[in-house]
Structure 1
Amino acid sequence: MKTDKVDQRYHGDLEAVNRVPFVTSILELICSSTGAGVAAVTRITDDKWVACAVDDRIKMGLKSGDVLAVETTLCYEVWKRGEGIAVNDAAGEPAYRDHPVLATYKLNSYISVPIVLDNGRFFGTLCAMSPQTMHVANESTLSMFHSYAALIAHHLRDHDDNAQQRKRLREEKRLAQQAEQAIAMLGHDLKNPISAMSNAAQLLLRNKPDDRNRILAQLIYDGAIKTRSLIDNMLDYARARFGEGLQLNFNNRQPLAATLEQVVREFVILNPKCTFVADFRLDGAIQADYMRIGQILSNLLDNAVNFGDHCEPVVVKAWSEEGRFILSVSNAGAPIPKKILPFIFEAFFRDNRSEKARGVGLGLFIAKEIARAHGGNLSVHRVERNTVFTLTVPAAQGTY
């Protein structure tokens, strides 16, 4: 039998059919029970007939992967009609006596039924053929073929679903990578002018300007710091949701206490009407990304400023005990309502209790993600009149 080489497009279909655990047994049973010389599972497309699994007992020369023009096969009629064909003896049946397909391949008996997937997609056929007479044009044999075809279709559906899922996952990963790259480029482009504004404002403030210019410079500096924080949160959200997760860098340039003190100093400058009390008692270095720990503190302080009672100090504590690093931020004020408490660490959740609250609702989400990246946890609880957020990095991630 002269056939074409299999097209790369159909390799997935061949693999799917041959992964059906009992397809070989089905073809053997068909040949044994009907006397067929050849039995096959085929894939049918608009122009191709592809042999996916074959049992060739008469050395017809047909093997898995062979391709024929679909119009040169009787399976073409099954595809067009959407129903099976069964021919016992072509020589005795006027409709098939001179059929060119049977004549070309010297066949006298033929049976073929459609394999239709559960979603209604026509996959191909389950067929058998012989140069001798077979008794296949009967209800019992057709019922057997339809049952086998349905069984194969069921297993192919699982493959089809998995293939579609893999395709969707690949596309989602590609889009996620594009999104992460685009956001990273946008963040980089935005950070440069923001840094320039921040540096220029700091320079103006150091030169002891008059009251009017000092207020303007302070406004510029405050806006630059808050915008930089918003950009950082958006970039981290993109990495957490679309990329490979938040990245940690343990090559720290300064001690953790110095990093935390720097964050507190920035908030003292940005919020002159608030009081901040810091108490850092660290016994030594910990295995952590200090800049990320500082980012957690910054996000928690921002939350405390927005929702705390400004008549009471915001208390920041950091200490080590029993192989753990602990950071807490406490502020007085109204408690977090119970109905929103389960959602405060979710992305884009905004607590509208305070008119001072700004941003898009990513601060606590990012803080929680950084804690998880360290193998730690960020929690919130109420102590008397204070709301307390507590970060704990366990001994598995920390060394003192």
Structure 2
Amino acid sequence: MRFIPIFLLLSFFLGCEEVDSYKSGETYIKFFGTSSKEQGVDIISLSDGYLLLGNTESSLSGSSVMLVKADKKGNEEWQAVYEGDLNEDKAVGMIQLENDNIVILSNRNDTTGILSYTKPDGSDLNENEPIVLKPTTENIQVRYNSIEPLTEGGFLIVGEIKNPQNEWDMLSMKLDDNGTIIWEKVEGYKGDEGSDDLGNASAEDGAQFYYLFGSVDILKVNSSSEEVVVSDMRTVSVNRLGNIVWDKQVSTFENEYGVAIKNYNGDFYILGRRESSATDKDIIFSQLDANGNAGALIEYGGNGIDVGNDMIITPSGIFITGSSNQNSGSEDILVLKLNFQGEVIWQSTAGYEGVDFGSKILIEEDNSIVVVGTGFFGNNDKICLLKLDESGNLSKL
């Protein structure tokens, strides 16, 4: 089933470079950063505002982790840059523990991971010694892509590890609140050789199992009887000890990559990306049954790039953020609302020139939709924060 969005109906052409192209001070679209290039990565809603996680190129290393605190109206209160010496650190995500402390996951120099702990006010960001995450499994490279809190305490990290055969395998780690590794698992898909198995996200059912989500390369025979390597979305269910319960992929003849998996009332929904070419990408969405089998794959996109980077589910529907270039030659921030049957309720875009995209999305108690991402503003990329009402209209300040 394929939906072709009519972006002209519910689109917002907001010039991230030109103040005159939107009503500055009236609509809720905010930019944060330094004089260098920045990227928005994650967001946490606090009682008195928002904590934004991003990357900045203002340091000598080329990339450093950046925190920004804004009030509920999007006014910046402070910003801090994590001083990682001359290491290149790229933020992956952050969570808030029950004691209110913030845990930040980042990749360092493409060889290891870093856990940084700080208070919500960022006052001790550079005072605490970071925890270095080095897998015990033999490897030549490691990438971490996701950090998620667990109901019993601690958190789950998902990524991939490059083995000595130069192949990527899915990597998962369970850690306690102090960052101590409880277990580490490496899951190559059913032992297939020569394939890349990537880990991108995780979810839990709150009782017995964790669900690891990503993609895997599979050798297939197409309709022309030719052997081709195709990427499939992959879900791995593991128990509390990290042992596999089942391992399933969504099999098509298109290259598809897993992006996010969410648990809503015991039902699991997956968000992915279908790539026909570098300039033709679509959002794909489905629901898993109890055994990990996907229902109908629903596709959203036109002739160009439509990408989903995150989703959140509430009683009113499913909200996705990412990017689309249907309105212009460059990508704009996309916010999409679906019902539980996967039908589009509304869609909105925000952007102008340059590549703009949403990275994370959350829903506030008043049903407003908050997105953090990256917007081109002042001739450079900046951390971008925008808020929409429940109908998809940009909120007024």
Task: Provide the TM-score with structure 1 as the length reference.
Answer: 0.24
Q: Which has the higher contact order (CA 8 A, sep 6+)?
A: 2
Task: Provide the TM-score with structure 2 as the length reference.
Answer: 0.24
Larger radius of gyration: 1
